[in-house]
Amino acid sequence: MAWRQYYQNNIMMRILLLEDSWADAELIGAALAKSKINCELVRVETRADFIEALKTETLDLILADYALPSFDGFSALELARAICPEVPFIIISGILGEERAIETLKSGATDYVLKQRLERLVPAVERALREAEERKLLKQAEAELRKSEELFRTSVETILDSFGIYSAIRDTSGRIIDFRIDYVNAAACENHRFTQEEQLGKCLCELMPIHQTSGLFTEYSQVVETGEPLVKELLLEDEGQGGQGGQGGQEEQGGQGGQGGQEGQGGQGGQGEQGGQGGQGGQEGQEGQRGQATINDQLPINKQRAYDIRAVKFGDGVVVTWRDTTERRQVEEERKLLIRQEKAAREEAEKANRLKDEFLAVVSHELRTPLNSMLGWAQILRNRRLNEAIATKALETIERNARQQKKLIEDILDVSMIIQNKLRLELQPLYLVPIVHGAIEDIQPQAQAKSIQIESVLSPFISPVMGDAERLQQIVCNLLSNAIKFTPAAGQVQVWLQQIDSFAQITVTDTGQGISPDFLPYVFDRFRQADGTTTRKYGGLGLGLAIVHHLVELHQGHIYATSEGIGQGATFTVQLPIYKTE
């Protein structure tokens, strides 16, 4: 209870009085009664009663006569110090000399009062109570401080984040030239690969130069000078064990602002506040790994690690916390990648489904059109008498549409065999000149129907290739048919055959519609057409070039398509490896 409250709240104090004289006791009681102190005196005369009172009574103050018949003030003081040391003790005596008084004060007495000067009793009592209160408050404050420090230590020592307190070191001009390490927790020690004893009191940049090379020292200095907190993410190169850890850092985000503090940085390959320093002078074994930033030993060398760093001003220094966020970032990146892949797969599936629907519509259209024509002419031939010219035309139309349908069905079957990986070649050494001639002759009627001229330049000095004659002719026919389909009437198609290094090269160029840059990468895809609708200008299933592409690959060759754009024509180039005889 604070001593002032005895006055303010009129609370009764209990004072133990060791006095064998009733007269002196009355005088002491009268002196106290004149003051504002509301008290109850508990008087004892003997040693036994004194000890009993100390043990059983709740006392606010002890007043003791110095000289008793069988008991003295010194003995009473020793007993009081042993049983209730927090209670103030005042000696009252009529024969106490100055030397003895000083001796009692040194032994623990709060004060002394001469019986001849009892007017000093009340001020002495008030001072004793005030000092007792101050001692009590100080003791409580010290206990709270110890508790707070223990709580702080327990907290920072058990957190997973690295934690450090650094004080600024200044030169004579007041400029910060380094930081002194005042405290680091267990996580920071593991991070730095130094023990606490090896770090406390040391210069931060001298012990771990990565703070300089990564720019963290400069940023910590700005925190101290400006008071602005630092929040950032830092990327540091992980260069493996040993050496001067970490090649500096690359700031990813953050800057000044925020609160807290993490120090990311790197030692060995860069990392957390870790002094990127690591085994100076190439020390071997464990020494060669110390002082470097913490690195997951299972991570590959030369990988970047990420650190979340936070720093706030603390006196003339900084409190810094940092954490390795590499794994979290990797998880986030993997999640983003999975989302992108899932989105791409979904879009691909939707596109494939749309292409399938378009293909089915085109197949239905392409098969129905020649069938309708054939059925129409067949009915005319059956029901009417026709002259020879019209009958011949009818038969030619039926035959042409039947061949067209046969070609469509063969393309579909070829694609089915390609998908099932059942398409096989009958390989043998072949000269390409007769094969290309045969393809031109086969496609000539189609070109003549549109007044398209096919020009060919076929070098006779072409070494043989290993191939399937039927499939090679199919390649050339499909390319020529595609060129004629997309070339307007009276246009031109050119075919070159030449040998370039170890390849026989077939080039088909037309003056037709050309290919847009957007569609060019998909020109060899199955079922892909620049116009996939049933109302498109050009017929076909969009399978010819896909079949050509696969057949060329089966021959270990390459095919390329180029075009300057819409209306600029197109060029298809096939390269087949020359057959090498042993």
Whether residues 179 and 315 fall in one domain: yes
Distance CA 188, CA 142 (A): 29
Question: Domain range spanning residue 569?
Answer: 425-577
Distance CA 73, CA 90 (A): 10
What CATH number is attached to the domain comprising 49? 3.40.50.2300
Residue 298 has pLDDT above 60, yes or no: no
What CATH number is attached to the domain comprising 491? 3.30.565.10
Distance CA 33, CA 40 (A): 10
Residue pair 70/97 in contact (Cβ under 8 Å)? The answer is no
152-193 pLDDT, tens per residue?
767 666 677 889 999 999 999 999 999 999 999 888 888 788
Q: Is residue 151 part of a domain?
A: no
Whether residues 167 and 299 fall in one domain: yes
Query: Can you count the helices (H) and strands (E) in the chain?
Result: 16, 18
What token pair was written down for 9? 């709240």
What token pair was written down for 199? 């770090």
Whether residues 29 and 68 fall in one domain: yes
Whether residues 174 and 317 fall in one domain: yes
Rounded average pLDDT over 539-560 = 87
Report the Cα 232 to chain-centroid distance in Å. 13
Structural domain count of the chain:
4
Q: How confident is the model at residue 9 (pLDDT cuts 50, 70, 90)?
A: low
Which residues, in sequence order, are bridge partners of residue 111? 90
Q: Is residue 308 part of a domain?
A: yes
Residue where one domain finishes, among candidates 324, 352, 386: 324
Distance CA 295, CA 250 (A): 17
Residue where one domain finishes, among candidates 362, 387, 418: 418
Whether residues 94 and 171 fall in one domain: no
**459 contacts: CB under 8 Å, gap ≥ 6:** 497, 498, 499
Buried b (16+ CB within 10 A) or exposed e, 289-302: bbbbbbbeeebeee
Residue 511: predicted pLDDT: 94
Q: In terms of DSSP bridges, do strands 492-500 and 503-510 run parallel, antiparallel, or are they unpaired?
A: antiparallel
Whether residues 200 and 98 fall in one domain: no
Residue 380 has pLDDT above 90, yes or no: no
Q: How confident is the model at residue 289 (pLDDT cuts 50, 70, 90)?
A: very low
Buried b (16+ CB within 10 A) or exposed e, 336-364: eeeeeeeeeeeeeeeeeeebeebbeebee
Q: Is residue 77 part of a domain?
A: yes
Rounded average pLDDT over 305-315 = 89
Q: Is residue 558 part of a domain?
A: yes
Whether residues 452 and 530 fall in one domain: yes
Rounded average pLDDT over 529-553 = 69
Rounded average pLDDT over 54-74 = 85
Q: Is residue 154 part of a domain?
A: no
Residue where one domain finishes, among candidates 391, 418, 445: 418
Q: Is residue 157 part of a domain?
A: no
Residue 146 has pLDDT above 50, yes or no: yes
Whether residues 172 and 313 fall in one domain: yes
Rounded average pLDDT over 62-78 = 84
Whether residues 175 and 318 fall in one domain: yes
Whether residues 433 and 372 fall in one domain: no
Q: Is residue 148 part of a domain?
A: no
Whether residues 394 and 461 fall in one domain: no
- Residue with the two structure tokens 């003295």: 72
Q: How confident is the model at residue 470 (pLDDT cuts 50, 70, 90)?
A: very high
Whether residues 173 and 261 fall in one domain: yes
Q: In terms of DSSP bridges, do strands 176-184 and 162-170 run parallel, antiparallel, or are they unpaired?
A: antiparallel
Helix (H, G, I), strand (E, B) or coil at 326: helix
Report the Cα 102 to chain-centroid distance in Å. 71
pTM, two decimals, is 0.43
Three-state secondary structure of 156-203:
HHHCCCEEEEEEEEECCCCCEEEEEEEEECHHHHHHHCCCHHHHCCCE
Q: How confident is the model at residue 517 (pLDDT cuts 50, 70, 90)?
A: very high
- Residue with the two structure tokens 């003081």: 77
Q: 10 Å Cβ neighbour count for 447?
A: 20
Q: Is residue 413 part of a domain?
A: yes
